[in-house]
């Protein structure tokens, strides 16, 4: 008999269809959680939802947010089953512990329930797609107790689509529930968030992931070294699904009846061996470039990527810095034994400035590697730089060494220090009651809280003659016409003396602001000629003098009183602020 359903003919060399092996299910699907208790690392979510089902206070809309692979879609399906489970005997109601055997549980698990509709908003972003959902909410469920709409990557919906959804989301029919999932919560409109019960699914800690993966590996009959499992858990970066995919790959690469070893996993991930990373960091921080490059060559021969090698160093530096600042971490089970033992010993030998300097150089170096045509060469250049600066003291130590008493004094001035504070504005009691100079007039106006007038005196007028109580000024063209009358009124109120403010066409002095800039430039030139500052600039090419302040200068950066002709100038203390960028370190 022939026809459409006739058995296909057998082909020599191939097994008959009924003898074909069942399709392999990847671990991420095979071990997908089916109950709330199966979710790992989401205790808060599970506790709140269990309590809500127990009290019958289940929300009509949920917003699940978190990084990829932490269980957002899985949680949505568990919620759908919990809402529609009828129990093994067919008489049950909504429950936080769906039975898994009733027709609704089995259909939802198989992704074929007509009343649980899943939509990927990444591919269906328009308002028409949302209108289909809105139209479907008007009809009662075909089989289940409740219709559940699961919208994944909901942040991808267009603005019009969100607006179309708002009314239905605010007043949905009693038989409709929405579960939204997103990795970009900030892109979801606040109007939508306010209508949902929000749950933040957190990244799963590496310790929890390693324990979970170990249980799955045991169930699969595979042996995995603890260090190898730690590498997989660390590479998963908090994502259960990503970690299970890596575990799947590691088990597939293991020898027959063999153990998945750490070296295997490191090769698979393109990572350097953890102990080799420690060796490399110790070599560069000790200034041994030959050893560092040999270790880099060995890692490259094993297949480690140059950028990943620097990433490993950066991650280890972060761990060492944490161990340095929080010694109690050495007793924490969250860190592997190597980090606690060897990392703790290394952290004791390093200072925070050295760790911070290495961090900054590695951070910049990783960017160079990503942009370089030859990643390996760029990584080696970064390692050589790290080795070269290993025996250099931090900038602060260098300055202290150069500032020993043997250092030559500044010509015509005092000593210079790094990171000093700029000069402070004079105290209120330093403002004279009867101004003896135009600068003192400006200080008095500032003390009277006349901010606008004070700014105009700084930038918009030139002093022609100062003979109290007469002040002759040349205003700038854009100065206000009432400047003279306002200044006279402020001086009268502050001193009790009637002042005359005359306007002149003569040139006059530069403005106070211009005088301050000129004085600052002069101080910079004098500071740059100082032997100590020259030594710093030579030791750190590319360094620059950021600011120079004079403790004897007034609030405008000018000398407190002009020196008379032939009068000896008193030596004053200056403070230089020098910026030493990381790239200037040789």
- Containing 501, the helix (H) or strand (E) segment is strand 500-503
Nearest alpha-carbon partner for 426 in 439, 438, 437, 412? 439
| CA distances from residue 123 to 33, 129, 152, 178 in whole angstroms, order as listed | 26, 10, 10, 19
Structure tokens at 370: 């990503």
For residue 427, pLDDT over 80 is answered with no
Q: What is the pLDDT of residue 3?
A: 40
Average confidence (pLDDT) over 59-85: 91
What region, left, alpha or beta, does residue 390 occupy, with left being phi > 0 and alpha being psi -120 to 50 degrees? alpha
The domains located in the chain, with CATH, are: 27-200 (3.40.50.300), 206-269 (1.10.8.60), 276-389 (1.20.272.10), 414-559+572-586 (no CATH)
Cβ atoms of 111 and 130 within 8 Å: the answer is no
For residue 562, how many C-alpha atoms fall within 13 Å in the half-sphere facing its CB? 7
Confidence of residue 398 (pLDDT cuts 50, 70, 90): low
What is the mean predicted confidence (pLDDT) over 85-98? 88
| 458, two tokens | 């700084």
**3-class secondary structure, 272:** coil
Judged by DSSP in three states, 362 sits in: helix
pLDDT for 271 equals 62
Residue in 442, 455, 554 with CA at minimum distance from that of residue 490: 442
pTM over 0.85: no
Euclidean distance between CA atoms 152 and 68, whole angstroms: 11
Strands 461-467, 470-475: parallel, antiparallel or unpaired by DSSP?
A: antiparallel
Q: How far apart are CA 484 and CA 441, in angstroms?
A: 13
Other Cβ atoms within 10 Å of 362 Cβ, number = 22
Where do the DSSP E strands lie in 336-476?
A: 461-467, 470-475
Cβ atoms of residues 273 and 295 within 8 Å: no
Residue 91 has what pLDDT?
Answer: 85
SS3 198: strand
Contact between 238 and 212 under an 8 Å Cβ cutoff? The reply is no
Per-residue pLDDT of 350-374, as tens digits, reads 888 888 888 989 999 999 999 989 9
Q: Closest Cα partner for 170 from 155, 148, 192?
A: 192
Which residues 6+ apart lie within 8 Å of 488 measured at CB? 498, 499, 500, 501
Q: Smallest Cα–Cα separation from 123: which of 73, 161, 95? A: 161
**207, 244, 251: which is closest to 339 by C-alpha?**
207
Least confidently predicted of 56-60, 217-221, 330-334, 481-485:
330-334
Helix ranges restricted to H, 372-450: 375-389, 395-402, 438-447
Span 473-516, pLDDT tens digits: 999 988 888 899 999 999 988 888 899 999 988 889 999 988 88
**How far is residue 39's CA from residue 148's CA, in Å, rounded to a whole number?**
20
Q: What integer pLDDT is reported at residue 212 of this predicted model?
A: 92
Smallest CA-to-CA distance from 41 within 221, 209, 195 is with 209
Phi, psi of 262 (to 5 degrees): -60, -40
Which of the four pLDDT bands, split at 50, 70 and 90, describes residue 378? very high
Angle between helices 43-55 and 72-84 in degrees, nearest 10: 20
Retrieve residue 189's tokens.
């409109």
pLDDT digits (tens, 9 = 90+) for 172-181: 888 999 999 9
Checking if the pLDDT of 522 tops 90, the result is no
Residues 6+ apart with CB under 8 A from 284: 292, 313, 358, 383, 386, 387, 390
């Amino acid at each position: 008999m022939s026809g459409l359903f006739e058995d296909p003919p057998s082909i020599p060399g191939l097994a008959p269809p009924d003898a074909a092996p069942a399709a392999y299910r990847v671990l991420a699907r095979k071990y997908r959680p089916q109950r709330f208790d199966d979710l790992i690392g989401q205790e808060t979510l599970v506790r709140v939802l269990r309590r809500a089902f127990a009290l019958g206070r289940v929300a009509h809309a949920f917003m699940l947010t978190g990084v990829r692979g932490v269980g957002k879609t899985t949680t949505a399906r568990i919620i759908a089953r919990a809402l529609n489970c009828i129990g093994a005997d067919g008489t049950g109601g909504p429950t936080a512990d769906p039975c898994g055997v009733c027709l609704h549980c089995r259909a939802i698990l198989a992704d074929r329930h007509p009343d649980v509709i899943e939509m990927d908003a990444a591919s269906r972003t328009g308002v028409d797609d949302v209108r289909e959902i809105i139209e479907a909410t008007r009809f009662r469920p075909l089989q289940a107790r409740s219709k559940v709409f699961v919208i994944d990557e909901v942040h991808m919906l267009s603005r019009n689509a969100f607006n179309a959804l708002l009314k239905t989301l605010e007043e949905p029919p009693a038989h409709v529930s929405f579960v939204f999932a997103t990795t970009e919560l900030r892109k979801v409109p606040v109007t939508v968030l306010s209508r949902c019960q929000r749950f933040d699914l957190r990244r799963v800690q590496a310790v929890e992931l390693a324990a979970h993966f170990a249980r799955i590996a045991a169930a699969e009959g595979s042996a995995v070294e603890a260090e190898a499992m730690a590498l997989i858990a660390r590479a998963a970066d908090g994502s259960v699904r990503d970690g299970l995919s890596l575990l799947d790959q590691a088990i597939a690469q293991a020898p027959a009846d063999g153990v998945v070893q750490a070296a295997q996993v490191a090769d698979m991930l393109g990572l350097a061996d953890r102990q080799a990373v420690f060796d490399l960091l110790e070599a560069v921080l000790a200034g041994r470039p030959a050893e560092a490059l040999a270790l880099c060559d060995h890692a490259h021969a094993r297949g480690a990527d140059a950028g990943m090698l620097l990433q490993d160093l950066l991650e280890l530096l972060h761990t060492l810095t944490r161990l340095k600042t929080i010694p109690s971490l050495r007793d924490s089970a969250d860190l592997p034994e190597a980090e606690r033992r060897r990392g703790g010993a290394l952290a004791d030998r390093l200072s925070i400035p050295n760790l911070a300097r290495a961090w900054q150089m590695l951070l910049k170096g990783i960017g160079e590697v990503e942009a370089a045509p030859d990643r390996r060469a760029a990584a080696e250049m970064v390692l050589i730089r790290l080795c070269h600066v290993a025996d250099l003291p931090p900038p602060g130590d260098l300055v202290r060494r150069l500032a020993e008493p043997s250092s030559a004094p500044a010509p015509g001035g005092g000593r210079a220090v790094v990171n000093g504070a700029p000069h402070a504005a004079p105290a209120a009691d330093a403002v004279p009651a009867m101004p003896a100079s135009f600068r003192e007039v400006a200080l008095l106006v500032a003390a009277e809280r006349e901010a606008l007038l004070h700014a105009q005196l700084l930038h918009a007028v030139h002093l022609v003659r100062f003979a109290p109580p007469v002040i002759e000024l040349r205003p700038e063209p854009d100065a206000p016409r009432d400047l003279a009358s306002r200044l006279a009124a402020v001086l009268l109120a502050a001193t009790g003396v009637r002042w005359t403010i005359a306007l002149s066409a003569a040139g006059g002095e530069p403005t106070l602001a211009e005088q301050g800039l000129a004085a600052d430039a002069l101080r910079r030139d004098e500071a740059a000629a100082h032997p100590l500052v020259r030594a710093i600039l030579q030791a750190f090419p590319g360094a620059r003098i950021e600011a120079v302040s004079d403790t004897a200068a007034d609030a405008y950066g000018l000398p407190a009183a002009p020196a008379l002709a032939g009068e000896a100038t008193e030596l004053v203390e200056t403070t230089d602020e020098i910026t030493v960028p990381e790239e200037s370190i040789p």
